[in-house]
Amino acid sequence: MLYLWLKALHIVSMVCWFAGLFYLPRLFVYHAQSEDSISKERFSIMERKLYRGIMGPAMIATLAFGIWLISLNPSAYFGQGGWMHAKLTLVVILIGYHHMCGAQVKRFARGENTRSHVFYRWFNEVPVLILLAIVILVVVRPF
């Protein structure tokens, strides 16, 4: 029963993390397009609260529940092909993306953004591709 509870909590925290990973770059798009100081300040506050209040805790919970799940039965995850290695590689890349978003939150707060809204529109697609790959790896287990 513990396994099922951990799995459910892992999925819920992952959904919360991805919600932030999808929304924060969208805020960057709007922030990069804004021209008045009131809008820029408002976006900075929204970005900071989303990153620190939701994304950070959700990432930590996702990782903690995932590690806990693996620790209950490591051979079930690593003894059936290389899908888990590929998934964990994508998770490491996703953690890097998360921290890139955090660095960008700080740049916007300092008024040092040099990128256009078009850049952020493309930047926003990265977590979509990673999510697609992770779901396929976990459900289909192609190798």
Residue positions in the annotated binding site for heme? 10, 87
Q: Return the half-sphere exposure (C-beta side, CA atoms, 13 A cut-off) of residue 57.
A: 8
- CA-CA distance, 135 to 94, in Å (whole number)? 14
- CA-CA distance, 92 to 94, in Å (whole number)? 5
Query: Which residue numbers belong to the known binding site?
Result: 10, 87
- All residues at 6 or more sequence positions from 79 whose CB lies less than 8 Å from its CB, including other chains: none
